[in-house]
């Protein structure tokens, strides 16, 4: 069923609005003319005008004056002409995709209104597009785009992203993007001065918001830091994924666990099943203090199952992994991204309940001491 706002979006399209205004004008003119010429009540005049324009012609009313009949003929031709004109406009709208665009905009507008724990991306240029795609496709975050350029806005909507066509340097635009409920803000416009102003305004509206801003010059980077940006990235020196990781840094946990190779699937089902994204694993080899870090990106249990199946098919790989586990008494750490505090609590609570959890955000020294303790007990 067509949502009222979607209908409003269609009615406000320029060509539809023009056709509707012409139709209303003819209805009003015909109603007033018949009222004056034939002496009919206004409602009767409106009824006869509508019947004439639509060529229904019920025959229950007939003009008695020559002028009234001439007016009826004029209305018949103008009504048919207007109907053809309106249908042609609607056909052009459909062919150009403007009608579907209005419907899509309405759906995405409602997603903007409901958004929370989301990322706001200011600027949908080359960098903004890559960042938004990475955040949604790989990290499964809701992203709200802000751009004052109409083409950029339409591109964001075309890519299925909730977007606002507005100026991010205006308070009402950031409030429309639910900045008070956002998880992080990424400022990626093409102008350092704009980025500075957006950062200042965003921090004023939500002091706890984590702001990552791109800079195109060293002076711009310095000003962004002074404006309160938590992370400043030189756009030419850093890939989009590093921007996203910087923005999500406050959401990353180092979860240290203890489990065997056979329990990998169980532990991963707890983390991923409760919304977490695994983006790194650390293995410890005491007495060396530097862990072995392996970067991964696991968002789906199917990836875990494929790895487990590979271990079953390759005994040498399984034995090598078991030796690494033995060096640290089966203790290792996962770097996990969560989308909100509730996901964090659920993951840690379930890991603790199943006796897998060693600690959260422990230092290397704390982890090595725990491994030593387990070794002495064993």
Coil, strand or helix at 234? strand
Structural contact between residues 193 and 219, judged by C-beta atoms closer than 8 angstroms: no
Query: What is the three-state SS of 246-272?
Result: HHHHHHEEEEEEECCHHHHHHHHHHHH
Q: Using CB atoms within 10 A of its CB, is residue 176 exposed (0-12), middle (13-18) or buried (19+)?
A: middle
**Low-confidence spans in the chain with pLDDT less than 50:** 1-3, 5-7
Distance CA 67, CA 86 (A): 28
* Tokens encoding 357: 């959890």
Q: Residue 15 has what pLDDT? A: 54
Distance CA 372, CA 203 (A): 45
The shares of helix, strand and coil residues in the chain, as percent rounded to the nearest 5, are 60, 15, 25
Q: Residue 45 has what pLDDT? A: 79
Structural contact between residues 196 and 176, judged by C-beta atoms closer than 8 angstroms: no
Of the candidates 57, 76, 166, 184, the residue with the CA atom closest to the CA atom of residue 120: 184
- DSSP state for residue 180 in the 8-state scheme: G
Domains of the chain: 4-100 (1.10.287.70), 116-238 (3.40.50.720), 251-377 (3.30.1340.20)
pTM greater than 0.85: no
Q: What is the pLDDT of residues 36-52, one digit of tens each?
A: 888 888 888 787 777 77
For residue 174, give Cα distances in angstroms to 154, 328, 363: 19, 48, 38
Structural contact between residues 232 and 224, judged by C-beta atoms closer than 8 angstroms: yes
Of the candidates 339, 299, 337, the residue with the CA atom closest to the CA atom of residue 183: 339
Task: Say if strands 277-283 and 292-298 run parallel, antiparallel, or are unpaired.
Answer: antiparallel
Of the candidates 269, 277, 252, the residue with the CA atom closest to the CA atom of residue 360: 252
Of the candidates 204, 208, 129, 128, the residue with the CA atom closest to the CA atom of residue 170: 204
Strand order across the beta sheet in which 163-165 lies: 163-165, 143-147, 119-122, 184-187, 210-215, 231-234
Per-residue b or e along 322-332, where b marks 16 or more CB atoms closer than 10 Å to that residue's CB: eeebebbbbbb
Query: How far is CA 92 from its chain centroid?
Result: 30
Q: Residue 162 has what pLDDT? A: 92
For residue 131, give Cα distances in angstroms to 119, 186, 347, 353: 10, 9, 26, 36
Of the candidates 125, 152, 146, 142, the residue with the CA atom closest to the CA atom of residue 235: 125
Q: Residue 259 has what pLDDT? A: 96
Q: Residue 3 has what pLDDT? A: 46
Query: How far is CA 78 from its chain centroid?
Result: 47
Q: Which residues, in sequence order, are CB contacts of 349 under 8 Å at separation 6+?
A: none
Q: Residue 10 has what pLDDT? A: 52
């Amino acid at each position: 069923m067509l949502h009222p706002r979607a209908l409003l979006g269609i009615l406000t399209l320029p060509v539809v609005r023009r056709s509707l205004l012409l139709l209303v004008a003819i209805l009003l003119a015909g109603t007033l003319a018949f009222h004056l010429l034939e002496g009919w009540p206004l409602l009767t005049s409106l009824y006869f005008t509508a019947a004439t324009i639509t060529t229904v012609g019920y025959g229950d009313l007939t003009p008695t004056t020559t002028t009234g009949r001439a007016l009826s003929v004029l209305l018949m031709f103008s009504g048919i002409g207007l109907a053809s004109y309106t249908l042609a406009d609607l056909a052009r709208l459909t062919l150009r995709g403007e009608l579907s665009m209005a419907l899509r905009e309405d759906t995405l507008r409602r997603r903007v209104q409901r958004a929370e724990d989301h990322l706001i991306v200011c600027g949908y240029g080359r960098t903004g597009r890559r960042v938004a795609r990475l955040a949604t496709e790989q990290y499964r975050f809701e992203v709200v785009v802000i751009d004052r350029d109409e083409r950029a806005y339409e591109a964001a909507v075309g890519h299925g992203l909730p977007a606002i066509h507005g100026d991010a340097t205006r308070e009402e635009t950031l409030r429309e993007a639910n900045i008070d409920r956002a998880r992080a803000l990424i400022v990626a416009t093409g102008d350092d001065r704009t980025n500075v102003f957006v950062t200042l305004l965003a921090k004023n509206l939500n002091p706890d918001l984590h702001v990552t801003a791109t800079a195109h010059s060293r002076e711009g980077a310095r000003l962004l830091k002074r404006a309160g940006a938590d992370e400043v990235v030189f756009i030419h020196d850093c890939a989009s994924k590093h921007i996203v990781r910087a923005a999500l840094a406050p959401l990353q946990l180092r979860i240290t666990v203890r489990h065997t190779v056979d329990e990998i699937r169980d532990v991963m089902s707890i983390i991923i099943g409760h919304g977490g994204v695994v983006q790194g694993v650390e293995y410890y080899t005491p007495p060396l203090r530097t862990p072995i870090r392996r970067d991964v990106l696991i968002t789906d249990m199917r990836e875990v199952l494929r790895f487990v199946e590979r271990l079953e098919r390759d005994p040498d790989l399984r034995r090598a992994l078991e030796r690494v586990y033995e060096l640290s008494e089966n203790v290792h750490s996962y770097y996990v991204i969560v989308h909100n505090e509730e996901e964090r609590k659920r993951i840690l609570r379930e890991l603790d309940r199943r006796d897998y959890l060693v600690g959260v955000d422990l230092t290397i020294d704390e982890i090595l001491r725990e491994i030593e303790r387990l070794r002495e007990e064993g």
